[in-house]
Amino acid sequence: MADWKAKRFWESASVTGDAAEGWGVALDGRPVRTPAKVPLAVPSRALAERIAAEWDAQDGEIDPLSMPFTRSANAAIDKVAPQFAAVAAMIADYGETDLCCYRAAEPDQLCRQQADAWDPMLEWARAAFGARLVPTVGVVPVSQPEESLERLRERVASLDAFALTALHDLVSLSGSLLLGLAVLEGHLPAEEAWRRSRIDETYQQSQWGVDELAAAAAAVKREEFLHAIRFHDLSRADA
């Protein structure tokens, strides 16, 4: 039984529902449900169409790894929505130790690269949210202004479950609440935000060469990061 895998049993996948009730996907007329057995309902037809295309692309055995939009929608519905406050608080906590605030003491080249990439993010957070965060040198935690942290908590808590699902991945993969929000808000392209999150690693590669295993792991994370904003944007496509 351990080797049993689900196989395709349907002829076609189609989009169902409407903007008022939420968009769903049906397999030969039967609604797709999440792993928690609730109807899969997403906020935009565009996202539902992408999910339906993933189901239509299955050939033989069903491969969940080839269905990233289905998996993200399931996460939003089954995991994020039922515990929204806890997930929002966990993501907002990144503001207390945001990557953009922790700088190297040396060498000068790395210090300049960090400043060029991260100083604009601190200024953007101050202007966009009224959240002034304090940079520091080293890894010893520095206390951030509580008022600033509260502003960031408010912004995160204002999202819906689908946007919060995307932000969770943007933040956890980059290590930065500011970079994650900048992508979500359209302030930075995802590729640029990812580059800024990898300043330290890129500098180390320039000094010591590429570690193939680390590079492969980073490539996987990069694709997950880019997927997160694609998922978010599709969930907003009908707005």
Classify residue 178: in a domain, yes or no: yes
Write out the residue range of the structural domain in which residue 216 sits: 83-235
Classify residue 130: in a domain, yes or no: yes
Classify residue 197: in a domain, yes or no: yes
Classify residue 124: in a domain, yes or no: yes
Classify residue 30: in a domain, yes or no: no
Rounded to two decimals, the pTM is 0.93
Instruction: Output the tens digit of pLDDT for each of the chain's 239 residues.
Output: 344 467 878 889 999 998 888 999 999 999 999 999 999 999 999 999 999 999 999 988 888 899 999 999 999 999 999 999 999 999 999 999 999 999 999 999 999 999 999 999 999 999 999 999 999 998 898 999 999 999 999 999 999 999 999 999 999 999 999 999 999 999 999 999 999 999 999 999 999 998 999 999 999 999 999 999 999 999 998 75
User: What is the tally of structural domains in the chain?
Assistant: 1
Classify residue 15: in a domain, yes or no: no
Classify residue 111: in a domain, yes or no: yes
Residues in Cβ contact with 200 at an 8 Å cutoff, skipping those fewer than 6 apart: 104, 110, 114
Classify residue 200: in a domain, yes or no: yes
Q: What is the CATH number of the domain that holds 141?
A: 1.10.3580.10
